[in-house]
Structure 1
């Protein structure tokens, strides 16, 4: 009788632990009634397709592409005020000015729409993309769409309609003063749908100098949250942005809609499924320079004294 009762109750229990809403793995529980990343394809079928993001970038398997030249940014230096919002899954900032990116073998000019971040728990591993299996504490996504589109919904119908620039963060021993207004603003958006005005910010102040943005990777992928639409040209930059431990931990003070700490807001890496990841020529040149110097050193017998 006990076994029979268990057999009857199990489907009910499983049903009570699932629901139509998606969530991150840190939110999954019977009480949450949501589907974690491994079940996102049940929320939206596109999440189970073959060109999904993020991925683990294996550097030795990347392919040099001489067409991946430096980008041209316009409007990135412009100062603007905008709304900073806790959307229940991340912190998101709309971009109310005209800021565009071109070059870098992008087929058209793309205009910036919004940016948001993904992070771990209290400054721990939390980036979406990984490099040779290494997960950084946090990752910034600046979302662009082709300039000829007026709505992101329309751009997402184009297989290359969206271009996302991805930047890693690393923990540093000193505070990044350029992020002071941003991290202070987090205090005003602790709860879901909380919003505040982020004043006097520019995209340039949030990312590395252009001279440090010539090393990057490129591949075709998707949005990293449902509906996981496969319409994204991904650019993932090598050089990380420094934040100190306190600044990184500030993001975990936000709360999901259920009041739990907003932590672990990243999708696990997805299968590459034969896709080629390209690297910029600058990245290859930098690597080649190191190899050349090492070879010269070896040839001339330059080594540390015993």
Structure 2
């Protein structure tokens, strides 16, 4: 279709507008509007960015509070955790439901990170979710994404004893009582529960992350999307020992910085190889530049309390009773004494 006069231009505009209404804004466009335009008799899919809210980058995060006022309030994340200043807590263990292998997860480069999502048609009865761990209710898996640095001296958002890690994985869950991820992400204080998993550089590849890192080259540019060919085992991505962690209440670490997150920061780490990190550092952001240093710096703790759930390896599932054998009591006491001895000398 060749546009020759004003009448044809008006018809083309009207047709394009109808196509916009027909196509709409989908969940997977990540801040872009998809539409179809007629070019020489053929409809071509186009995307334009949504510009109804300010853009942000990690380089200008000092300006976030001006553009997004919540980013400057008193319960922001991440934080620098000082273990000696935490308060011991006796949260129950987490219970992981449907946290096994998941097929056909999608990976998307959104210009700020790569997100790993469930397939759109994933059955509700197979939804991965968590309970326990001091959470009130059931929290469904939403997505996971990562933060990393230009090199392995930095990259994580949370820090422990002011130490940064080369990568931090966020596993996001939403409170099922709100009905959807979108509703839970609005303004509810208990809307989200996020696992923070810190990584250290290991000698070999992390096999649990390989379904992601092996295909990350397929989403080099902002807006790229692919389906993972190998299943992702959610439980294997987390640290093997998940019973000790830090807990505090904070915010989402990107604008709009809503303070709706119950954070669980595991104090046991996972491994990742330099080869896998290099693949992430080859990605491009929304400006076509290297996608590195995509982390927010630690925010003031203010008057918040950070709790620490300690795991000794000696926990028992019930209180000691009169029927408990002396052998069990001796074994339990010996375990506690060994743990205390090791803790004293490992911290000296």
Q: What is the TM-score with the length of structure 1 in the denominator? A: 0.82
Residue 202 (str. 1) matches residue 233 (str. 2):
yes
> Which of 22, 37, 58 is the aligned partner of 2:56?
22
**C-alpha deviation, 1:219, in angstroms:** 0.2
User: CA 1:287 to 1:179, structure 2 compared with 1: closer, same or farther past 3 Å?
Assistant: farther
> Which of 191, 197, 201 is the aligned partner of 1:167?
197
**C-alpha deviation, 1:284, in angstroms:** 10
Q: 1-side partners of 2:299 and 2:77: how far apart?
A: 6
Deviation per CA, 1:63-116, whole angstroms, max 9, x where unpaired? 0011x2220000111422121000000000112450001101101110001111
Give yes or no for contact 2:153–2:164 (8 Å, CA) kept in 1.
Answer: no
Q: 2-side partners of 1:120 and 1:293: how far apart?
A: 34
User: CA 1:158 to 1:295, structure 2 compared with 1: closer, same or farther past 3 Å?
Assistant: closer
> Which of 247, 259, 265 is the aligned partner of 2:294?
265
Deviation per CA, 1:248-295, whole angstroms, max 9, x where unpaired? 121111001221100000000000001100000316989985443477
Deviation per CA, 1:172-202, whole angstroms, max 9, x where unpaired? 1122222222111110000000111113222
Superposition pairs of residues 256-295 of structure 1, within 5 angstroms: 256-282=285-311, 289-293=338-342
| Residue matched to 2:208 | 178
SS of residue in 2 equivalent to 1:249: helix
Unaligned runs of 5+ in 1: 1-18, 26-35, 297-306
| Residue matched to 1:63 | 87
Give yes or no for contact 1:69–1:281 (8 Å, CA) kept in 2.
Answer: no
Give yes or no for contact 1:120–1:126 (8 Å, CA) kept in 2.
Answer: yes
SS of residue in 2 equivalent to 1:187: helix
> Which of 42, 65, 73 is the aligned partner of 2:66?
42
| Residue matched to 1:221 | 250
Give yes or no for contact 2:152–2:165 (8 Å, CA) kept in 1.
Answer: no
| Residue matched to 1:11 | none
Unaligned runs of 5+ in 2: 1-52, 315-334
User: CA 1:44 to 1:195, structure 2 compared with 1: closer, same or farther past 3 Å?
Assistant: same
> Which of 164, 168, 178 is the aligned partner of 1:135?
164
| Residue matched to 1:76 | 99
User: CA 1:65 to 1:284, structure 2 compared with 1: closer, same or farther past 3 Å?
Assistant: farther
Q: 2-side partners of 1:289 and 1:160: how far apart?
A: 38
Give yes or no for contact 1:126–1:137 (8 Å, CA) kept in 2.
Answer: yes
Which is worse superposed, 267-276 or 95-104? Answer: 95-104
Relative contact order (C-alpha < 8 Å, sep 6+): which is higher?
Answer: 1
